[in-house]
Amino acid sequence: MDILCLMGLFPHEYKSEIERHSVVAIQNAANKLQWEIVNGLDNIEDVNVKILNSLYIGSFPKKYKKLIIPSFKFKHNKEASDYNVGFINLPGVKQVSRYFSLKKEIKKWLKEQKKDSAILAYAMTNPFVDILAYVKKVRPDIPVCLIVPDLPEYMDMSKKNSMIYNFLKKVQIHSFHKKIYLFDAFVLLTKYMKRWFREPILYTVIEGIASEELIQRKNLDRHEKSILYAGGLTQAYGVIDLADAFTRIDNEEWTLEIYGDGEAQQILKKYARKDRRIHINGVVTNSEIVEKQLSAGILVNPRRNEQKFTKYSFPSKIIEYMSSGTPVIAYKLDGMPNEYMGYFYQVEDGKDGLKNTIEKVIQLSEEERNAMGVKAKNFIKENKVASSQGKKIYDLLKKCREKI
């Protein structure tokens, strides 16, 4: 099967360029998931993957330093022939520019396709939804599948209070519902996402994919006495709750290391000024984050199960955290399958649940904590690597072909 992957990933040879020109934190989690999807499909015999890419980056000038994004060829493996489309990186113009750049290349690809091909797109964004709708109108014989890592309502939690943003989001969602039922299938990150759709859909659930590279890293016997959070510094993600809980823990041996960027950064810096054990480290490269996760004593996901969006999202950092072999503290979220239970320290109920759980875990012996980390890593290795998750997507695409 020939599979065209419509992606917004960062080609390896271009990633340093993206990091250099980004004013805000880049989308590392989305980039990693897209690459693991490609890797998973590449591992399947008789599958030929081609990437048609349109970078998921911030807009010029506030979030990215370049106005014009270039087109260029790249290869995700020796036999591949992949292409990144350029566009005008200006708010209001960007999405239209991306669409027409993609459409030009899609037309070329469609002319070459006769049978046994499919299109897989990441994610529910305007250009990709519009492109898939276009494909179904001109080539209904080619199955298209949309990966939905986030529902559109919850894609940018920092802009929720903007009236203009909320209005435009409603318009966007209305537009999506008019187009997406043309599509053949969907890959959802949680089973609850299905409720968002107004018509029956063909789908599979893949909450994330573990990095084979991280899984292969050797577990450390000795860890620093540090509690680490790496991700979006957004109040909705519970990072302020984490800082507040840590300040109330009476233990001078442990530190709280926070990495990332977001609207909560200034509030977190105030906590750091009052408590010398808290360190706000800003944005660093993904490779640095991986090393920090391996050496940290505990990894924390402080996202509470109180907001509606927790049903419709799966925190990608859970799989990444568990893959490191470092023990994890987290809340049980509605979007998290029950199979994950027993592989992390679940935050206790109650107002002081996060504080109490952290206190109990740091009082355990290092051997006990390490055992939990190793158990979690083995679970991920056996169930959430690219080969097994890629097979689920491939089987879904085959089912689509059989129906057409």
- Interval 210-219: pLDDT, tens: 998 889 998 8
Quick one: pLDDT at residue 157? 61
Whether 8 has a pLDDT exceeding 70, the answer reads yes
Q: 350: Cβ–Cβ under 8 A, 6 or more apart, which residues?
A: 356
For residues 148 and 207, what is the distance between their CA atoms, to the nearest angstrom? 10
pTM: 0.90
Residue 224 CB coordination number (10 Å): 15
Quick one: pLDDT at residue 183? 99
For residues 315 and 177, what is the distance between their CA atoms, to the nearest angstrom? 25
| DSSP for residue 67 | S
Q: 79: Cβ–Cβ under 8 A, 6 or more apart, which residues?
A: none
Whether 200 has a pLDDT exceeding 70, the answer reads yes
Please state whether beta strands 278-280 and 255-259 pair in parallel, antiparallel, or not at all (unpaired): parallel
Grouping H, G, I as helix, E, B as strand and the rest as coil, residue 158 is helix
Spatial CA neighbour of 59 closest among 30, 87, 91, 101 = 91
Quick one: pLDDT at residue 61? 98
User: In the structure, what pLDDT confidence band is assigned to residue 60 with cuts at 50, 70 and 90?
Assistant: very high
Which neighbouring-strand residues pair with 152? none
Whether 154 has a pLDDT exceeding 90, the answer reads no
For residues 243 and 329, what is the distance between their CA atoms, to the nearest angstrom? 14
Whether 241 has a pLDDT exceeding 70, the answer reads yes
Quick one: pLDDT at residue 269? 98
For residues 132 and 363, what is the distance between their CA atoms, to the nearest angstrom? 53
Whether 158 has a pLDDT exceeding 80, the answer reads no
Ordered by where they begin, the domains of the chain are 2-209+385-403 (3.40.50.2000), 212-383 (3.40.50.2000)
CA distances from 302 to 54, 130, 154, 342, 385 (A): 32, 35, 17, 17, 24
Whether 68 has a pLDDT exceeding 90, the answer reads yes
- In DSSP notation, 221-234 reads SS--SEEEEES---
* pLDDT tens digits, one per residue of 84-108: 999 999 999 999 999 999 999 999 9
Mean pLDDT within 113-138: 96
Whether 151 contacts 124, CB under 8 Å: yes
For residues 103 and 134, what is the distance between their CA atoms, to the nearest angstrom? 8
Counting DSSP H helices and E strands in the chain, the numbers are: 13, 16
Whether 161 has a pLDDT exceeding 70, the answer reads no
Mean pLDDT within 305-317: 86
Average pLDDT, the chain: 95
Query: Roughly what angle, to the nearest 10 degrees, separates helices 239-247 and 353-363?
Result: 60
Residue 392 CB coordination number (10 Å): 13
For residues 177 and 199, what is the distance between their CA atoms, to the nearest angstrom? 9
